[in-house]
Amino acid sequence: MVQPLVESIAAEADPEVAATLARFFQVRPGGYGEGDVFVGLKLSRLRVLARPYTRTPVDPADWLPLLHSPVHEHRLACLVIWSERAERGETAERAAIAELYLANTDRVNNWDLVDASAGPIVGGRILDPDGDHALLDRLARSALLWDRRIAMVATHQLIRAGVTADTYRIAELLLDDNHDLIHKAVGWMMREAGKRVDEAELLAFLDRWAGRMPRTALRYAIERLDPDTRRHYLGQRAG
């Protein structure tokens, strides 16, 4: 199953798109995507190519070679397939996907890979009756940047189910993180929790922590609030 998809990706590869993506995802020396290889396919097209492989249960191990490919689009295709099956599959299939995903988070190594997969795979698994919410805390304390972003973005699936406690707990754990990609994820999930579930919860968190939050996280979190409220929380910034 893997090889036909690899061939489909190769057939549609576009060097100009690859160059644009490489710049956008910081493949340059010192960038967070340093060393990654793009062939030039956007996520929307990858989803179309992957769709036939998502309609029936999968053994996630069959797709692991794609996740270990040096090609970014191969890794993304694997994660799209796993994520679709995590949404559609029975508990046993979701558990198998999550287990293999968590054993290979070093290969989920750019923000688009995390954002396409953490919610359905990790967040969805946590929502299962035997789900372990403490998994998010372990990921949030990891030295690996991508684990920490997974911890935060995974809560999007919980927010969609009306569960916000994990979002705010992990946001608090990550208050002092020094990476911009974590600041963005924290603010994004807080904004989503306030928008989708309870704005009062968001305001209560901000009342306590706005002065300590990184500027980027704070701006993302307050984006949908009214102008006066945004100015109030921006004014809480510590010196």
Beta bridge mates, 37:
71
Q: What pTM did the predictor assign?
A: 0.95
C-alpha dihedral sign at 35, 39, 43, 48: negative
What pLDDT does residue 239 have?
42
Phi/psi for 120 (5° steps) reads -60, -40
Q: Are 220 and 190 in contact (CB under 8 A)?
A: yes
What are the residue boundaries of the structural domains of the chain, listed by start? 1-128, 133-239
Out of 1.25.10.90, 3.20.20.70, 1.10.10.10, 1.10.3720.10, select the CATH number for domain 133-239.
1.25.10.90
Name every residue whose Cβ is closer than 8 Å to that of residue 116 and which is 6 or more positions away in sequence: 43, 76, 79, 80, 83
pLDDT in tens, the chain (239 residues): 789 999 999 999 999 999 999 999 999 999 999 999 999 999 999 999 999 999 999 999 999 999 999 999 999 999 999 999 999 999 999 999 999 999 999 999 999 999 999 999 999 999 999 999 999 999 999 999 999 999 999 999 999 999 999 999 999 999 999 999 999 999 999 999 999 999 999 999 999 999 999 999 999 999 999 999 999 999 986 54
Taking the C-alpha atoms of residue 192 and residue 90, their distance in angstroms, rounded to an integer, is 27
Taking the C-alpha atoms of residue 10 and residue 104, their distance in angstroms, rounded to an integer, is 24
Q: Are 30 and 24 in contact (CB under 8 A)?
A: no
**What kind of fold does domain 1-128 have according to CATH?**
ARM repeat  fold (1.20.1660)
Taking the C-alpha atoms of residue 137 and residue 133, their distance in angstroms, rounded to an integer, is 8
Vertex 219, ends 215 and 225: CA angle to 5°?
A: 150
CA 39 distance to own-chain centroid: 22
